[in-house]
Amino acid sequence: MEWSDFPNYAILIILLWTLGLIFLGTLKFKKSFQLIGSSLLSLGVTILIVLLVNLWISLERPPLRTLGETRLWYSVFLAIVGLIFYWRWKYYWFVVFSFFMAGLFLALNIYMPENFNKTLMPALHSPWFVPHVIVYIVAYALLGASSIVAVKQLYDNYFGKSKTTSSITLADNLVYLGFSFLTMGLLFGALWAKEAWGHYWTWDPKETWAFLTWAVYLIYIHGRIRNSISNKTALWILAIGFIVLLMCWFGVNYLPSAVNSVHTYSNG
């Protein structure tokens, strides 16, 4: 695949997903509709994965360097998380939101095409590169999904009918999984940094924000033990956590403190 074909594929995938969601949503009780719906969603995901593999081959390096490339992975994993949790818990709204987010990130890539050049600086030629970034993106997808749950629940509490916070159990599941990946990503990063730059932690802006993200979810996890903090506070922490996460992922590049960061490759 050439990068210039991307918009066509992305639009095809978004169409498939939209159709799939419609099938899932209408006549929820009919088994066959559910099957068609989830098949369409899965087909879209499969095309996206093939696209990524092709990109990997044509770039001759893992497509994990620029923000645009990481957004593609994010779409894939968020969609997969949506599907799995739909099969497991049958939350229709959850699958809608996670595919909506996944589609949004694809659309972002249509409107903000980045340069998909082949160069990769020497420090990135490392066996750590792929596991580090993939683990992080899985974590981001799971934690992003937990924030979707939190925001939906908060909305229902403030404006909707529901006064309970029952879906916080779903959020807990997502956060526990996501946080274990986040921890692995952080530690892989530290081990890699030791190999590449000689020190495992230098409080570089990207590292600082990665730590901040990690700490926010750590607070959530502890607050949830024995209901030490109220459910509403916990949900707010998740909503804020996602902002910190996005800051770490995209925002750091724009901070004044990031001019010396060794981690902002994407403008290179």
Partner 1 sequence: MIKNRNIWERPWEYKEGILISMTLLILGFMLEFVTDGRGVIQLLEYPSNLYLGSGIIVFLILISIFGRKWAVTEWLKSIPAAICSIALLLFVSLLLGLTMQYDKSAPEIIRKLGLSHVVSSWPYLLANLFLLIALGLTTIKNLVSFQWRKLGFIISHLGLWIVLFGANFGSVQMQRLQMEISEGGINNTAIDKTTNQVYTMPFAIKLVDFILDEYTPKLALVDNSTGKLHQGNNIIIVDTTQKQSLEDWQITCKEYIYSSAKAGNKYYFVNEIGAAPSVFVSATNDIGNTVEGWISCGSFNRPYESLKLDEQFSLVMLLPEPKEYTSVIEIYQRDKDLIAINLEVNKPMVVGDWKIYQLNYDSNMGRWSDTSVVELIKDSWLPVVFTGIFMMLAGALYMFWMGTRNKIAVFKTKTTERE
Shortest gap between Cβ of 46 and partner 1 (angstroms)? Answer: 25
Shortest gap between Cβ of 174 and ligand HEM (angstroms)? Answer: 15
Q: Hey, what amino acid is at 19?
A: L
- Percentages of the chain per state (helix, strand, coil), in multiples of 5: 80, 0, 20
The listed partner (ligand HEM, partner 1, none) that binds 201, CB under 5 to 8 Å by sort, is partner 1
Return residues touching partner 1 (CB under 8 A): 113, 115, 117-123, 125-126, 169, 172-173, 176-177, 179-181, 183-184, 187, 190-191, 194-201, 203, 205, 208-209, 211-212, 215-216, 218-219, 222-226, 228-229, 255-257, 268
User: How deeply is 203 buried, as exposed, middle or buried, from its count of CB atoms within 10 A (0-12, 13-18, 19+)?
Assistant: exposed
**Distances in Å between the alpha carbon of 103 and those of 47, 150, 230?**
13, 20, 33
Nearest to ligand HEM by Cβ — which residue? 225
221 binds ligand HEM (CB under 6 A): yes
Q: Which stretch binds ligand HEM (CB under 6 A): 20-28, 52-60, 137-145, 219-227?
A: 219-227
Dihedral of CA 33/74/171/182: which sign? Answer: positive
Task: Tell me the C-alpha distance between 61 and 48, whole Å.
Answer: 18
- Pick from 2, 29, 32, 225 the residue near ligand HEM by CB under 6 A: 225
Contacts of 182 (CB under 8 A, 6+ apart): 136, 139, 143, 213, 214, 217
Residue placing its CB nearer to partner 1 in the complex, 29 or 111: 111
Q: Point out which residues bind ligand HEM (CB under 6 A).
A: 218, 221-222, 225
